[in-house]
Structure 1
Amino acid sequence: MSEWLFDLGNTRLKCAPLLADGRVGEVQALAHREADIAAELERVLPARIDVAHIASVASEALRVALIEALVPRCSRIGLAGTQAAFAGLCIAYAQPQRLGVDRFLAMLGARMAEPGPVLVCGVGTALTLDLVDIDGHHHGGRIAPSPTLMRESLHQRAPQLPPEGGVYRMFATDTNDGLASGCEGAALALIRETHAAATTLLGMSPKLMLHGGGSEWLVARLEGAVLAPALVLEGLAGWAIAEWPPQA
């Protein structure tokens, strides 16, 4: 039985096969627009697959474009959604559907990988933080612009400020370095403050796990942090196995 996992974000589409042992296979990361999703999938997918499992936080138009591209080659399609309680994970939101499915699945993936408390940090368009204790209870989280979005927003309001480039320095001596240092430093400060508060709340230090396109640089500057680039897909794999068990 051929099953594939799809993580449709605002910037990229990640996809990977779901292996027979429940692990995530080789991950493909594709830049996307509505017009080219089908062509991009043509490059990486087999001609036919049995089941597609989708997690999407993208626009309705992009989600429809992905589904339409999959229908001709796929027998079944499942769309993951945030649930109040799932596989020992209990969401703190009074209205769980208001929590992005990417955050839900990232926490689920973290729980599958780490038996102790975790602070899950996603770095994409937004920077998100979610705390899960040793018993699987979600204590809530925080949302902020990612460093990339900070730079892009500043550039939109003040075009003379470049949207990328520069080197992180504590005390920068040019504008590019100052922008890089300020935006990346803001993210680091938020993560460190949240981790310290989580440690106080739980009475123990949670494992800090980062995922998303902008996480690699931050991990290198956060002591004890773990890079988990496929965390959403790993959570989606756990959701898929529980929702649609392999058929005999």
Structure 2
Amino acid sequence: MTVWLFDLGNTRLKCAPLQNDGRVGPVQAIAHTALDGADAMADALARALPPRIGVAHVASVASEAQRVALLDALTARCGRIGLARTQPRFAGLRIAYAQPQRLGVDRFLAMLGARAATPEAVLVCGVGTALTLDLVDAAGGHRGGRIAPSPTLMRESLHARAAQLPIEGGAYREFADDTLDALASGCEGAALALIRDAQHAAQRTLGATPRLIVHGGGAAPLLSQLPDAQFEPSLVLDGLAVWAQVEHA
């Protein structure tokens, strides 16, 4: 029986098979621009998937319309579909939120994936549409987190209010001498400052420095300034793999 994992985020759909050893197989990423409408979703999945699959495990933080389009497209080729949801306790992870359903399933799964990667305390940083930070101690206790705009969203917001400021381009500099570099430096620098502040706060909270694990489609530009970071590009899918195996146990 083939098992596939689907992470429907705010900008991309990522999918991969779950291998027999419990690891995530080759990941395919499809931009939302290629998924506009039920027919487009079905066409995209026809190119990405085998004609039939046994089980699909889905995590979604996208719009209701996109989630429904994905589930409808999967129904046509899948025997069973499971929808991951944030749980207060799961696989040794204990969520800090008094109302766990208010914690995005992507953050929940990223923490599961990080816990599977290391038994140490971790500071999990996701860089997508938003920049998220979640602290998990070595015993699996979630100590809470932070949410801010990602550098990409900062650039888009600036461009929306001032069209002369480009959405893309530039490189990080300590003190930039042109506008493109200044935009990249300011937006990436704001994200880096938040991450570093969270690292210091985590050290004070735990009495030790947690491992920094970074994931998400917008993480790459930050990594050169975070030499201590462990980059896990498909951390949400890694967590979904944990979810799938516990659900089938």
TM-score category by the smaller chain?
over 0.9
Cα separation, 2, equivalents of 1:202 and 1:220: 26
CA contact (8 A) 1:34 1:65 kept: no
Partner of 1:192: 196
Identity of aligned residues (%): 70
1:149 CA displacement: 0.3
1:172 CA displacement: 1.0
**Which stretch shows the higher mean deviation, 30-39 or 202-211?**
30-39
In the TM superposition, what are the counterparts of 1:22-171 in structure 2 within 5 Å? 22-32=22-32, 33-35=35-37, 36-171=40-175
Cα separation, 2, equivalents of 1:220 and 1:178: 17
CA contact (8 A) 1:3 1:18 kept: yes
SS of aligned partner of 1:53: strand
Letter in 2 for 1:212: G
CA contact (8 A) 1:34 1:61 kept: no
Cα separation, 2, equivalents of 1:10 and 1:201: 31
Cα separation, 2, equivalents of 1:223 and 1:211: 14
1:244 CA displacement: 2.1
Unpaired stretches in structure 1, ≥5 consecutive residues:
none
Partner of 1:19: 19
1:216 CA displacement: 1.7
1:145 CA displacement: 0.2
SS of aligned partner of 1:46: coil
SS of aligned partner of 1:15: strand
Match of 1:202 among 206, 227, 247: 206
Cα separation, 2, equivalents of 1:14 and 1:134: 29
SS of aligned partner of 1:229: coil
Cα separation, 1, equivalents of 2:175 and 2:113: 37
Deviations 1:97-137 (A, max 9, x none): 00000000000000011101000000000000000000000
Deviations 1:20-73 (A, max 9, x none): 111100000111233222111111100000000000000000000001111110
Cα separation, 2, equivalents of 1:147 and 1:228: 19
Cα separation, 2, equivalents of 1:96 and 1:190: 24
1:87 CA displacement: 0.7
1:175 CA displacement: 1.1
Matched positions, count: 245
1:223 CA displacement: 2.5
Match of 1:236 among 233, 240, 249: 240
**TM-score of the superposed pair, with normalisation by structure 1:** 0.97
Cα separation, 2, equivalents of 1:205 and 1:38: 45
Structure 1: which 4+ aligned runs deviate by more than 6 Å? none
Cα separation, 2, equivalents of 1:174 and 1:25: 42
Cα separation, 2, equivalents of 1:97 and 1:34: 27
**Which stretch shows the higher mean deviation, 212-221 or 176-185?**
212-221
Deviations 1:59-102 (A, max 9, x none): 00000000111111000000000000001100000000000000
Deviations 1:152-180 (A, max 9, x none): 00000111111111111111111111111
